[in-house]
Structure 1
């Protein structure tokens, strides 16, 4: 009787949701496509290019005013110089080459931005660390990483999951005598959350072989003109009306069979639009705050409600009042391994435009742009008082901002033991929905690899 009641309740809920969609999108323009893509970042754009080349119709729903996701580029208004303050390089692999070649974008050898002499400072009190340098990744770490090949391009974990992977990273390092490597893993600028409590699984998944090849071996490419936003502007121009910018899905229904398809109501600057598609690619971070309007059933909610975190923000600031011949990097003066405190700025890095810096900021909780910039201003005012040669009268001017949250959401050890990643893989295609957001990896080329593996199934279903 319980299962019958549950089935009735779910049916009633689905009917009620369908009614709300009809009400919200009554008299709205109907867009009929083979595939609807939610999220116009690297993954959504890559999927759209492939779908178009395979003769499949698509529409992208993107909440921001541009395509590109974690790729953030600001153009200096005086010189026109592009300043990339999000993604910095691409791993040089066939999928990356395809992406640029498909858009007729010339590429060159990629390098991380050249920093000026770094000052390592505790951003909580202004204490400067002397005789400090960032150590390199050692072979001991690489040997440990290679013990777990199934986390190199995703999280297809064995059952049972090795308990060592579920240790906090500091305990893992102690167990396997990786103390020296702690400095290199703890000093990575694009990590999120409290690094002292991060599970070893996520350290290895984040600082994987691809990342090592990028950061240590220099196996990277970038578009030759240095404007990382260019590919996405080219793609946007090619896609035309198949992209809905500044738009969000307000409600949706997804059928249990291919013939049922997907129906979405979308709020756009031009009013509500209704999308009717055969398949849905969810290319945004698959967390409840993004998925709640899609009418999740109990199976889906049991998976996605377990993921959270990854609060990461970036921006560009001028007139910081600090000497222009330095980069400024956050390091704890008295913490183990000099781990910086969270929340806080990771660094301030100079750009090709004199006096213009980009910064990264990480937090444990969601923050607004105003909160991030206010906290960043407070940090700069503190540094002005502690760094010799600074101007305490300078007032920081914030000229660009991008939220990357949630970046690489994570879950707890118990959920991993219970097989949450197995369940995630098994749900691909369920209710005509496919997930390619940054849940399994963080770098664009690896996300493209995962998407490339899914696309034949999506195309067959559409």
Structure 2
């Protein structure tokens, strides 16, 4: 172990591990990131007799799951993840963590008002077309991007067209143009590669949205799944903690060593294998001491700036949802950066909002921009209270959400290289690089776990 780790720790730490047991954590598998995949991996490995530790930078598990509890009523308000796909994977994980499933439904919108959030002008006569057969037909041409991104070589050039160009080339109808109305997509939809549109809006997502094949916690509290996981995992989860440096051996016998900053001070993790369940972009990975192969690969992925929150006292009539649509862009695609929509919740007067951008933003910047939008809407929507001051009560950054690569990198095999790097330097990657829905992430993770277990036993 190099002296770089935890600065004051040197080789002697292992020899004196017994006396320094509070500072050294020895496990079969270390997991960076306690979102959907990190939590699933931890519970699954524990069930198979493996010791684990999770390092999570936030104060809760759950990642893109974001739940606010209304202080007056205790009502849970989910302002990130909205439903789970109803399949065996979801139901088994629910049962494992004592969650009672119920029918999953997207929040019931009140009558939507479509407004240009740049100037407050209503988009008259606008209605959202339903995604239909022409889109589904095109999607089914590429089954290898439905549950991951396992591309053929060469990659079909049609997938590397912008979505705007793809629609034009295949003369697709309003049923495919409806994809422009999807709110939970980071970035500029007109410039997104067709590959990512199909990967994001895959058969699983369509069945959730169009056919109601979705479940949720029966009590409506999505955070319950992760609270139960945290209760079971206990001290094997380091919350509000970050890896500050790391070493990873080239052989399984050399394992992984991490220095972690926690609220209780620095801790040393010594593990046989590492699961990286946070977004694999350079800003997150640099602390691990990447070599050229790794840095060349992960430098290709970027983007996915997405933020969500809960706001009260909007000053707007509470019998509507408010949706951002631009007046003067093709298909009324909203301009960026900006708030995607304000959606009402079961607590009267409390709304959740989603916000997307083309670059990283702080909480203060997101909430300030969202406040400006609300003040604009107060002046333009009949029946508003222009003196109301919005109250921001919850916030979550989902950045980077589904990082992407450019067309040249995809042609050159960036996804082939991603699959090929699994297990390299005792490190495994899982998370929203390949898919976004939690059940699909759990499925991908479950396929990796036998390999990770085998490597930990070498």
Q: Tell me the TM-score normalized by structure 1.
A: 0.95
Q: Distance in 1 between matches of 2:317 and 2:126?
A: 20
Counterpart position of 1:20: 4
Write out aligned runs for 1:48-447 (5 A).
Answer: 48-447=42-441
1:197-234 superposed Cα distances (whole Å, 9 cap, x missing partner): 00000000000101100110110000110000001001
Q: Distance in 2 between matches of 1:355 and 1:151?
A: 40
Q: Distance in 2 between matches of 1:241 and 1:429?
A: 26
1:91-150 superposed Cα distances (whole Å, 9 cap, x missing partner): 011111111010111001100001100000010111101221111111011000000000
For residue 22 of structure 1, report the CA deviation from its aligned partner.
4.8
Secondary structure of the 1:259 match is helix
CA contact (8 A) 1:100 1:231 kept: yes
Q: Distance in 2 between matches of 1:431 and 1:56?
A: 20
Q: Distance in 1 between matches of 2:454 and 2:53?
A: 18
Counterpart position of 1:5: none
For residue 183 of structure 1, report the CA deviation from its aligned partner.
3.2
Q: Distance in 1 between matches of 2:92 and 2:283?
A: 33
For residue 81 of structure 1, report the CA deviation from its aligned partner.
0.5
What is the number of residues matched between the two proteins? 446
Pick which of 161-170 and 179-188 moved more.
179-188
Secondary structure of the 1:340 match is coil
1:9-49 superposed Cα distances (whole Å, 9 cap, x missing partner): xxxxxx8xx22105254667110000000000011010011
Q: Tell me the TM-score normalized by structure 2.
A: 0.96
Counterpart position of 1:4: none
For residue 178 of structure 1, report the CA deviation from its aligned partner.
1.1
Counterpart position of 2:16: none
Counterpart position of 1:456: 450
For residue 363 of structure 1, report the CA deviation from its aligned partner.
0.4
1:364-407 superposed Cα distances (whole Å, 9 cap, x missing partner): 00000000000000000000011000010000000000000000
Given the superposition, is the C-alpha separation of residues 337 and 222 from structure 1 closer, same or farther in structure 2, using an over 3 Å criterion? same
Q: Distance in 1 between matches of 2:402 and 2:24?
A: 33
CA contact (8 A) 2:305 2:360 kept: yes
1:230-259 superposed Cα distances (whole Å, 9 cap, x missing partner): 010011011010000000000000000000
Secondary structure of the 1:23 match is coil
CA contact (8 A) 2:340 2:354 kept: yes
Q: Distance in 1 between matches of 2:8 and 2:445?
A: 32
1:140-168 superposed Cα distances (whole Å, 9 cap, x missing partner): 11000000000000000000000000000
Q: Tell me, which stretches of 5 or more residues in structure 2 are unaligned? A: 14-19
Q: Tell me, which stretches of 5 or more residues in structure 1 are unaligned? A: 1-14
